[in-house]
Structure 1
Amino acid sequence: MIEIILHAPCNAGEPVSFEHAGLRFTEKLGPAGSLMVEVPAMTGTARVSARVSGGDAREISVTLPDFDAFDRIGVIWQGSTGLQLHAMEGGASYGDPGHKWSDTPGNPDEATAGEGGFISVLGSTASGYAADVYTYPASLMQKGVEPEISVEAEVMQNTCGGEIEGFILRSNPGRAPNAEPLRMKVPGCDAVGEYLVLKNLPVELKLARR
Structure 2
Amino acid sequence: MARLKSYLLAGTTLVCALGIGYVMQFGLALPGQGKTAQSKPLQVSDITEVSSATALPLPPTDLQFDIEMPNQPIELAAADPGLIGTELPQDNTVESFGCDVRMEASPAAGAMVKLSLSSACHASERVTIHHQGMVFTEVMQPDGSLDLTVPALAEAAVFMASFPGGDGAMATVEVTSMPFYDRVVLQWKGDAGLQLHAREFDADYFTDGHVWAATSGDLSATARGEGGFLTRLGQSEAPEAQLVEIYSYPTGATKRSGEIALSVEAEVTGANCETRVEAQTFELIGGADLRVRDMTLEIPGCDSTGDFLVLNNLVQDLTIAAR
TM-score by length of 2: 0.60
Kept in 1: contact 2:201–2:258 (CA 8 A): yes
Amino acid at match of 1:184: L
What do the CA deviations read for 1:163-186 (whole angstroms, capped 9, x no partner)? Answer: 211000111565541100012111
Kept in 1: contact 2:180–2:253 (CA 8 A): no
Task: Tell me the equivalent position of 1:128.
Answer: 241
Please say if 1:91 is aligned against 2:202. yes
Task: Tell me the equivalent position of 2:213.
Answer: 102
Task: Tell me the equivalent position of 2:165.
Answer: 54
Higher mean alpha-carbon deviation, 106-115 vs 7-16, is at 106-115
CA distance in 2, matches of 1:147, 1:117: 10
Matches within 5 A, 1:21-170: 21-126=132-237, 127-139=240-252, 143-170=256-283
* Structure index of larger Rg: 2
CA distance in 2, matches of 1:145, 1:42: 24
Task: Tell me the equivalent position of 1:207.
Answer: 318
CA distance in 1, matches of 2:272, 2:178: 37
Superposition deviation, residue 10 in structure 1? 1.7
* Runs of at least 4 residues off by over 6 Å: none
What do the CA deviations read for 1:67-96 (whole angstroms, capped 9, x no partner)? Answer: 110110010001110001011112111111
Q: Percent identity over the alignment? A: 35
TM-align CA RMSD: 2.1
Superposition deviation, residue 201 in structure 1? 2.3
Task: Tell me the equivalent position of 2:127.
Answer: 16
Kept in 2: contact 1:44–1:174 (CA 8 A): no
What do the CA deviations read for 1:104-162 (whole angstroms, capped 9, x no partner)? Answer: 11133322221111000100133221000001111488953231111011101122122
CA distance in 2, matches of 1:86, 1:140: 22
Amino acid at match of 1:125: S
Unaligned runs of 5+ in 2: 1-111
Please say if 1:183 is aligned against 2:311. no
Higher mean alpha-carbon deviation, 172-181 vs 73-82, is at 172-181
Structure of higher RCO (CA pairs closer than 8 Å, 6+ residues apart): 1
What do the CA deviations read for 1:176-205 (whole angstroms, capped 9, x no partner)? Answer: 411000121111110011111111125xx4
What do the CA deviations read for 1:26-85 (whole angstroms, capped 9, x no partner)? Answer: 111112111111111111111111112313331111111111101100100011100010
Equivalent residue pairs, number:
208
Kept in 1: contact 2:266–2:308 (CA 8 A): yes
Amino acid at match of 1:190: D
Q: Would the alpha carbon gap of residues 182 and 142 (structure 1) be closer, same or farther in structure 2, given more than 3 Å must change?
A: farther
Q: Would the alpha carbon gap of residues 115 and 43 (structure 1) be closer, same or farther in structure 2, given more than 3 Å must change?
A: same
CA distance in 1, matches of 2:249, 2:218: 10
CA distance in 2, matches of 1:141, 1:196: 31
TM-score by length of 1: 0.91
Higher mean alpha-carbon deviation, 113-122 vs 132-141, is at 132-141
Kept in 2: contact 1:105–1:118 (CA 8 A): yes
Kept in 2: contact 1:116–1:140 (CA 8 A): no
* Bigger strand share: 1
Unaligned runs of 5+ in 1: none
Kept in 2: contact 1:74–1:170 (CA 8 A): yes
